[in-house]
Structure 1
Amino acid sequence: MSALPSTSCPALFIAAPSSGQGKTTVTAAMARLFSRQGKVVRVFKTGPDYLDPQILEQASGNPVEQLDMWMAGETYCQQKLFDAAQVADLILVEGAMGLFDGEPSSADLAARFNIPVALLMDVKGMAQTAAAIATGLANFRDDFRVAGLLANNCGSERHAQLIRDALPENLPLLAVLKRDPAVALPERHLGLVQASEVRDELEIRLDTAADWLQASGLAIDSEALLHQVEFKAPGVEPVTVEPVLANKTIALASDEAFSFIYDANIKQLQALGAKVTRFSPLHDKELPQADGLWLPGGYPELHAQQLSANTDMLKSIQAFYQQGKPILAECGGFLYCLETLTDLDESQYPMLGLLEGHGAMRGKRGCQGMQTAPLPEGEIRAHAHHRSRSFDTAEPIAYGRRQRHPAPGEAIYRQGHLTASYLHLFFPSNPEAIGSLFSGQEIVHV
């Protein structure tokens, strides 16, 4: 048997003990620092996330895709890394939550693809203890390599020296990142603010962050940072499907209110033969000519009044629904399909009314987690992340199946050709089901 094609590229996995340590800021700073030097930087984000990739894409100047071995599959992740390694001078992967959190975790992903880990830790309020935690993380398992520690929010050189002296020789202090509010990324209730909303401000912050990182003592040409990793092509041929969406147009809601869109989902629709046309429920008066409609998640609660006031668009989508054409509504799109939506100020606004029920925001309490959506067309991997609730809804056709808990997941509704749920679907996990959903045709493998 011939060896699998492979290619080598420097790669680094930025992980942390927990959320809130500054992973996105440091990953973005690193991407901007290297791209500013003329290097091609490809960045990946671990797990289901829409907001961090927008920041990282602006920082690197290249598309950012998700890597998750449960949601996308190991072969999918391997192919994405192999493809990136053929064109990149550096691959960066930003972890999710803590290093060992989740199934699979950031550590599992790093171990599977042999990517060295840079541990990022907010060291405010501790010194030698930071070294102890870093050492424990580095030695908790022996199937991956930790390149060193990035000490964030370090107060002084003396503070840094205490940490440096306490670290073992095989765990160097890669960088000392001083406290600087000028590099903090703007946030809101579901995480970071969308890059498109603060593009000019973000550009300034990204350059400031790159300068901040460069001044940290990070040896950007060191073996610890630029370790060559061999990425192999998958050992199996990718499954192809018939282009059942050929000559079909899918209208995609895409604006300030609806922006939680995986680029991989768009590519999957295109691979099925579809043309994807974007439109704005906020600003446009009617739908473009289309054979299917995709209403993704986003922030409809921040734009509820404007969405409700755009009665021409409401009528256009209602007419589309009456024609019996397929519609997929995810999370924010699901709220848009209900009768009313109550925003964070407790003001209630009429919505599309395609589904019985109402939606309301509920502050900081929310729901999140990985789930499988058991649709009539087939099972699709998905995730939930919302801080709203729906009530007085019709009976669902199914419930999401949680990854690690027996309780029923998110309700899934089917009314006519409208499929709606809080779940965000990852289309590449089951292209056949997605093709069936948007076409009503059975897909045959070729």
Structure 2
Amino acid sequence: MGRARHFQAATTGAARLTILARLTVLIVICTVCWPAMAGTNVHKGSLGNWIEQVALPKADPQFDSQIKNGISNLLSDYQIRKRPGGLEVFDRYAYKIVDRTGLERGAAISFEFDPATSEVTVNWIDIIRDGVVIKHLSDAEFDVFRRERDAEKGLFDGWLTAYLNINDVRVGDIVDYGKTTVRTPIIGTDLLFHSFAVAWDEPIALIRKRVTWPTVQPLNVRQVRTDIRPDVQSTGETTTYLWQSANPTPVKSQEYLPPDFLTYPSIEISSTSKWQDIVDTVLPYYRLDQELPADFAAKLDAIAAKYDAPEDRMIEAMRLVQDNIRYVSLSMGRGSYIPRTPATVVASGFGDCKDKALLLASSLRRLGIHADVALTDLDEGLALATILPTIRAFDHVI
């Protein structure tokens, strides 16, 4: 469920919330780059009437000495509302270019998105110079690239990067742009999970998050080292939650921390408090009663005839899957969450962790060994007990 990002300098803090920022079970960033496609999957359009606009805030000068890369962050505004079959998300970012270094970094806009689940519309691109607003949306031409950095490892996610070099940007300018994304998740269309840091490792004048959600489905909120609470307004069928963090003190980033300790004070939002809701969403795609190809089933039967001990059968089944199914992860669209059938995996001779785990569990069941598939997180699995329920918590299947 997310990965759209501003240029790197603006999102250092939020990017470190690794377990909370994943959008799919197996999302990976890659290095092979397909040619640019001007304008593909990026539209231009007006702002929806559900979006609340705010005036640009002023940065606190006491933090000027901590500005990084020549960029003074002014506003990060993120608004979400539920729509039939998914979400609508508005994302606005504004910053001031304070020196020549900032000009090199801030004169371009870049964000990533999944074309299988997201439709992106840029609402405005403005340059504010000496109080005068210069509009650039009409002449903006986005280049859209597909980047696959781990292609040599057999990992593909299909995400696209949209890039725009803005004309005539100068030191002292404020860059202000907003975009709306219509998201249609592959699974869990009625579930919401969002997390955000309420302070970054560099100054920002205002972090603002606004969620409009059905009143009958109250949101669950987890606060991590912050006392910021939402302003909650109900209008009958919907309830709006608003969090604001004005000129927070920058946080010194740290590495090699325990997975359940987040560097940045943060807030998690989830539409459910029960992990069982996540299980119920995923379980139908991991049925263990699916038919195995006849020749593969015959090999399993031969193992059963040769070995009586369950541990021997387990080892031989693992060898059979490992030796015959090479690792390739096609995590595009349905492939990001949903495993292919065991028959398809055997016929193709390749699969990712989801495919191979389901095939192995099905094989063990045929051998009389009870086995189930489990979702986990390779790096931060220990944190699963502390976060709110979300499909996005997982990056691996065993």
TM-score by length of 2: 0.25
The structure that is helix-richer by fraction is 1
